[in-house]
């Protein structure tokens, strides 16, 4: 596989579908099981359960992911469920998880702690699926109208970044808008009840609001000028011990994300088309349109690192992080893994 990345378009921000806060149980180090004396041990890769949509959901259902990893002597253990990156980063640091997905924004705040992980893939910022939501009928018509308003954001992650970036672009001091820090899975009810005036959020949560016809983007990722990449992270020790497994996982994600872009509907409602995890009606149309404009999971290239560093500098400037995070020190080149 040539690791040189192809020309890409904008992309959906998370390939591991976000469905709930991560719920992990301590399960020790990655297991290596042997089925017979003298046989090569099978490496177990701990990945958050992908839920009902996305490339990993389909890979789980049809067995294609395990088949791909088996060639590298590995298998998947689904543990907990995919959610915000901060708790996933903590789980990797505690040796409870091997792989997780998050944005560069939440990644930077996690790297500012004591990171035990590295990023090994990049998906371009989502121009159409993330942004600042306002309710239909709202008198907020521009970013300038947010002055004096309350905006829900997830602290240190995508939401806070999108709001601060939009305000900076409009020349509005951040202090003129009240940031209301909420977990994204708890924000919809607050937003729809009118307890906040806007919600800075990504596609995982925005699709349902837009699909309901009750909300729209005041400004999307393109209008904001977002550099909010989606990244896949791997526990550092796991990558050091099993580079061939990481490379096999990258290969699978890269090829599957290209297929998802071509046929988005096949990656929605993988296990069920009813219930709270199903994407239906207008929301399904919104999601498939976003995915069709997406890019693919690719290696991290020099142009990406430059933009990562720009986000790190912006976070320091906006006092989200105390010191500037050296993102480049926490990246893996999958093309050099052997």
Tens digit of pLDDT at every position of the chain (338 positions):
444 444 343 333 334 433 333 333 334 445 555 444 444 789 999 999 999 999 999 999 999 999 999 999 999 999 977 778 888 999 999 999 999 999 999 999 999 988 899 999 999 999 999 999 999 999 999 999 999 999 999 999 999 999 999 999 999 999 999 999 999 999 999 999 999 999 999 999 999 999 999 999 999 999 999 999 999 999 999 999 999 999 999 999 999 999 999 999 999 999 999 999 999 999 999 999 999 998 899 999 999 999 999 999 999 999 999 999 999 999 999 988 87
Q: What global pTM score does this model have?
A: 0.86
Q: What is the pLDDT of residue 114?
A: 81
Residue 53 CB coordination number (10 Å)? 24
Instruction: Tell me the three-class secondary structure of the chain, residue by residue.
Output: CCCCCCCCCCCCCCCCCCCCCCCCCCCCCCCEECCCCCCCCEEEEEEEECCCCCHHHHHHHHCHHHHHHHCCCEEEEEEEECCCHHHHHHHHHCCCCCEEEEEHHHHHHHHCCCCCEEEEEEECCCCCCCEEEEECCCCCCCHHHHCCCEEEECCCCHHHHHHHHHHHHCCCCHHHCEEEECCHHHHHHHHHCCCCCEEEECHHHHHHHHHCCCEEEEEEHHHHCCCCCEEEEEEHHHHHHCHHHHHHHHHHHHHHHHHHHHCHHHHCCCCCCCCCCCCCHHHHHHHHHHHHCCCCCECCCHHHHHHHHHHHHHHHHCCCCCCCCCHHHHECCHHHCC
Rg of the Cα trace of the chain? Answer: 19
């Amino acid at each position: 596989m040539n690791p040189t990345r192809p020309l890409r378009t904008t992309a959906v921000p998370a390939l591991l579908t976000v469905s709930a806060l991560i719920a992990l149980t301590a399960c020790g180090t990655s297991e290596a099981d042997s089925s017979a004396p003298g046989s090569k041990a099978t490496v177990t890769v701990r990945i958050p359960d992908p839920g009902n949509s996305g490339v990993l959901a389909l890979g789980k259902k049809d067995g294609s992911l395990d088949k791909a990893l088996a060639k590298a002597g590995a298998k998947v253990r689904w543990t907990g469920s995919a959610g915000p990156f901060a708790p996933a980063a903590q789980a990797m640091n505690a040796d409870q998880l091997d792989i997780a997905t998050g944005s560069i924004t939440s990644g930077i705040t996690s790297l500012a702690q004591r990171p035990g992980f590295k990023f090994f893939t990049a998906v371009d910022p989502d121009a159409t699926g993330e942004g600042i939501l306002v309710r239909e009928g709202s008198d907020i018509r521009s970013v300038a109208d947010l002055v004096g308003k309350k905006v829900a954001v997830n602290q240190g992650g995508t939401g806070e970044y999108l709001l601060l970036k939009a305000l900076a672009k409009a020349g509005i001091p951040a202090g003129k808008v009240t940031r209301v820090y909420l977990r994204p899975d708890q924000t919809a009810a607050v937003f729809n009840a009118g307890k906040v005036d806007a919600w800075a959020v990504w596609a995982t949560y925005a699709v349902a609001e837009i699909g309901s016809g009750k909300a729209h983007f005041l400004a999307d990722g393109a209008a904001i000028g977002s550099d909010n990449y989606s990244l896949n992270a791997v526990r550092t020790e796991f990558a050091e011990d099993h580079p061939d497994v990481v490379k096999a996982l990258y290969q699978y994600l890269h090829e599957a994300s290209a297929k998802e872009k071509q046929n988005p509907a096949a990656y929605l409602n993988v296990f069920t088309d009813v219930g709270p995890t199903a994407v239906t009606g207008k929301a399904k149309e919104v999601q498939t349109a976003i995915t069709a404009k997406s890019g693919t999971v690719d290696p991290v290239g020099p142009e990406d690192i430059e933009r990562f560093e720009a986000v790190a500098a912006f976070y320091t400037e906006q006092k989200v992080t105390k010191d500037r995070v050296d993102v480049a020190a926490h990246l893996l080149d999958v093309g050099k893994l052997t």
